Amino acid sequence: MTIAVIYGGTRPNGNNEVLTDHSIQGIEVEKIYLRDYNIQPIDDMRHAPEGFQEKNDDYNAIIDRILPHDILIFSTPIYWYSMSGTMKNFIDRWSQTLRDAKYPDFKKQMAAKKAFVIAVGGDNPGIKGLPMIQQFQHIFDFMGMDFGGYVIGEGNKPGDILHDQKALFAATQLNQNLKN
Amino acid sequence: MTIAVIYGGTRPNGNNEVLTDHSIQGIEVEKIYLRDYNIQPIDDMRHAPEGFQEKNDDYNAIIDRILPHDILIFSTPIYWYSMSGTMKNFIDRWSQTLRDAKYPDFKKQMAAKKAFVIAVGGDNPGIKGLPMIQQFQHIFDFMGMDFGGYVIGEGNKPGDILHDQKALFAATQLNQNLKN
Amino acid sequence: MTIAVIYGGTRPNGNNEVLTDHSIQGIEVEKIYLRDYNIQPIDDMRHAPEGFQEKNDDYNAIIDRILPHDILIFSTPIYWYSMSGTMKNFIDRWSQTLRDAKYPDFKKQMAAKKAFVIAVGGDNPGIKGLPMIQQFQHIFDFMGMDFGGYVIGEGNKPGDILHDQKALFAATQLNQNLKN
Amino acid sequence: MTIAVIYGGTRPNGNNEVLTDHSIQGIEVEKIYLRDYNIQPIDDMRHAPEGFQEKNDDYNAIIDRILPHDILIFSTPIYWYSMSGTMKNFIDRWSQTLRDAKYPDFKKQMAAKKAFVIAVGGDNPGIKGLPMIQQFQHIFDFMGMDFGGYVIGEGNKPGDILHDQKALFAATQLNQNLKN
């Protein structure tokens, strides 16, 4: 069982990264920082006769990195009560991959994976972050992925997350879960 | 009372645009198609000593277009159970404007506006689009904006929305509401 | 195709009843007013050796009335952002019926039905009533029932609902839907 | 600072009680088991000329027990993705108390309290219990109460909750929080 972590934050060592790294301590994982890639927004060409066009950005390179893994951890700061726009653009593009002849088994491959979400927000994320969790559930349901669980932490300033004992404990639990 | 419509879709004449245009028929509005602009994702520099850096993209030009208006209509297709990544990146950047010396009254100006949401999705949006509506509520609450209401329509293929009588009626209602 | 309407309100001719009756105009339906019945709260005896005990209230009589029908309409005022306690007690008791030897096919029979929800609330029900809709979705999913749709109206004082044009239109749409 | 715990479960020593008792270990609290009381559903008489009528049940006795306390813990099993019907009937009746001349300061007194929710469910409560948490938020917002936080645990059979390490830790955290 191998793990890829998809980081949606834009600030290195942000609270969500600290919390995520707590949950993967001692485990070898593939770390994918979306901010290091050029990901264009989707152009919805589902209904155009010519279909989706190649974007010539880095999106497919990310897909190639995640597909070999069994477990995907989506790690995102909560910006405006949802995942970062960077991560949203990445997921929006799945609509293109679902119709991409180069990835004929994309949905089937994704459906074999287990997903986790780790998210940190500053404005009452335990309540106001819940719609985002519901959206991830819908996303994973659509792809046929198993939603293994989520950890929500609270933090604004760098390092804040280290004071959220409940989130740290949940991350430790996830760590043990991932090790077994 | 003047109106700006912020379109988050990537497909011209997509279902959400058709539904939106139904709701603004006979009303002069400023139409802003986010897909025509280069909007970079936010770099979270809230806690960096140097602060946020100019992005040299088109984001501020959009802000300049919306600020003079009294009513904002957020029109987005529902991609993966939420607003498009394009619209999300636009909203994410508000965090920067909130700290931008060039827009000292950004929050106050936004708080004086009334907001509406029009969204069309293909996978049971009346249920699975609800978390997105809750997120818009949180966003508007944070900014102090009045959430005037929303219209959710269902459609996948071009023109589908014309068969969603309930959504069309709601758009007509909104049209009358906006005219008064 | 026959229809049973389950009314959860406690006030005769309340706004949710008016809206519901709009949606069933010209259709023969079986009307079940929960307030006319004595429905005891469930006693959770799932894990007791003796199992659930007969309650000697009217609950089973209601089950006997709904089971023959193909379509169930749950009509409830929104009390405190959710269905009425009366309707909640009725649904809580399904846990007992699921284990009741007198109803060996309860789940199977329910799974063959289509469900609708009609609800009227006074405090921004289009937003604050959404968690209730999500709960109905979970309930119907558990039972394997098809969730055909919902109508949310706004009203406080008697007759208020007659001013909610959007809800009335949606009820008219549902009416046509039910007639076909 | 004194604490009242309002238990909505119907099974003595149910999982939600075990989890709750974990969170109040070593603290003197007033324990109110709703199942020990006769609580009638509300009759919505807000708009009747004669107003609400006395119910001659035990509801007011419960109100008298909770009003002196500073902190209220709502402890409920998750039945059908929401609070128990017993607890719902209790809360529904607040509409009556808000208009009851015997409790002229009901809202003001409630607004001074801090609320917590502890809930245990068997069907993926970390996701499917979220709408209930949102409803509690709306309820507390309406009353002006501060929502201090919530703990969701997973369990079906008696004792299951003792295996939910994350919930137990959160309960321990709440325990320390309540002691300070």
Res. A51: pLDDT tops 90: no
- pLDDT for the residue B52: 84
Smallest Cα–Cα separation from A18: which of A160, A173, A126?
A160
Quick one: closest CA in A to B34, which residue? A41
| Chain C residues close to D95, C-beta within 8 Å | 79-80
pLDDT digits (tens, 9 = 90+) for A100-145: 999 999 999 999 999 999 999 999 999 999 999 999 999 999 999 9
| Contact check, Cβ <8 Å, D134/A126 | no
Average pLDDT, chain A: 95
Q: Which residue has the tokens 């030897």?
A: C101
- The number of C-beta contacts closer than 8 angstroms across C and D is 120
Sites in chain C below the pLDDT cut of 50? none
Report the C-alpha dihedral over residues C156, C161, C165, C166, rounded to 10 degrees: 70
Tell which of A117, A127, A135 to mutate to test the D interface (max D CBs under 10 Å).
A127
Report the alpha-carbon distance of residue B52 to residue B72 in Å, rounded. 26
| Chain A residues close to B84, C-beta within 8 Å | 41-42, 88, 92
| Contact check, Cβ <8 Å, D130/A133 | yes
Q: Check the CA dihedral A78-A82-A88-A91 and report its sign.
A: positive
pLDDT digits (tens, 9 = 90+) for D55-74: 889 999 999 999 999 999 99
- pLDDT for the residue C47: 82
Least confident of B37-51, B60-74, C91-105: B37-51
C-beta of residue A8 within 8 angstroms of C-beta of residue A84: yes
Tell which of D135, D150, D156 to mutate to test the C interface (max C CBs under 10 Å).
D135
What domain range includes position C139? Answer: 3-179
* The two structure tokens encoding residue C54: 């007969």
Tell which of A39, A135, A140 to mutate to test the B interface (max B CBs under 10 Å).
A135
Res. A43: pLDDT tops 90: no
| Contact check, Cβ <8 Å, A134/D147 | no
Relative to beta strand D71-77, strand B71-77 is: unpaired
| Contact check, Cβ <8 Å, C47/D158 | yes
Q: Which of A35, A79, A92 is facing B84, going by the closest CB pair?
A: A92
Tell which of B135, B137, B142, B147 to mutate to test the A interface (max A CBs under 10 Å).
B135
C-beta of residue A149 within 8 angstroms of C-beta of residue A178: no
**ipTM, 2 dp:** 0.96
User: What is the band of D48 on the pLDDT scale with cuts at 50, 70, 90?
Assistant: confident
Q: Which residue has the tokens 């979970």?
A: C138
- pLDDT for the residue A44: 82
Cα-flanking dihedrals φ and ψ of residue B20, to 5°?
-65, -45
All partners of chain D with 3 or more CB pairs under 8 angstroms: A, C
- pLDDT for the residue D47: 82
* The two structure tokens encoding residue B104: 């000292």
C-beta of residue A119 within 8 angstroms of C-beta of residue A125: yes
Q: What percent of chain D has pLDDT over 90?
A: 89
Report the alpha-carbon distance of residue A69 to residue A3 in Å, rounded. 5
Please state the rounded mean pLDDT for residues B15-21. Answer: 97
Q: Check the CA dihedral D18-D24-D25-D29 and report its sign.
A: negative
CA atoms within 13 A on the CB side of B22: 26
Q: In a 3-state reduction of DSSP, which class is residue A57?
A: coil
Q: Which of B149, B165, B166 is facing C126, going by the closest CB pair?
A: B149
CA–centroid distance for B66 within its chain: 11
- pLDDT for the residue D53: 84
Q: Which of C127, C149, C173 is facing B126, going by the closest CB pair?
A: C149
Res. D138: pLDDT tops 90: yes
| Chain D residues close to A133, C-beta within 8 Å | 127, 130
What CATH code is carried by the domain that includes residue D95? Answer: 3.40.50.360
Report the C-alpha dihedral over residues D44, D47, D49, D51, rounded to 10 degrees: 40
| Contact check, Cβ <8 Å, D81/C135 | yes
Q: Which of C81, C86, C132 is facing D41, going by the closest CB pair?
A: C86
Q: Which amino acid would we find at residue B49?
A: P
Please state the rounded mean pLDDT for residues D134-157. Answer: 96
Chain C residues touching chain D at CB-CB below 8 Å: 9-11, 14, 35, 41-45, 47, 77, 79-86, 88-92, 94-95, 123, 128, 130-132, 134-135, 138-139, 142, 157-158
The DSSP code for B158 is T
Average pLDDT, chain B: 95
| Contact check, Cβ <8 Å, B80/A92 | yes
* The two structure tokens encoding residue D84: 């128990």
Relative to beta strand B29-33, strand B71-77 is: unpaired
| Contact check, Cβ <8 Å, B84/A41 | yes
Domain count within chain D: 1
Please state the rounded mean pLDDT for residues B95-108. Answer: 96
What is the pTM assigned to this prediction? 0.90
- pLDDT for the residue A179: 92
Smallest Cα–Cα separation from B94: which of B70, B68, B117, B67?
B67
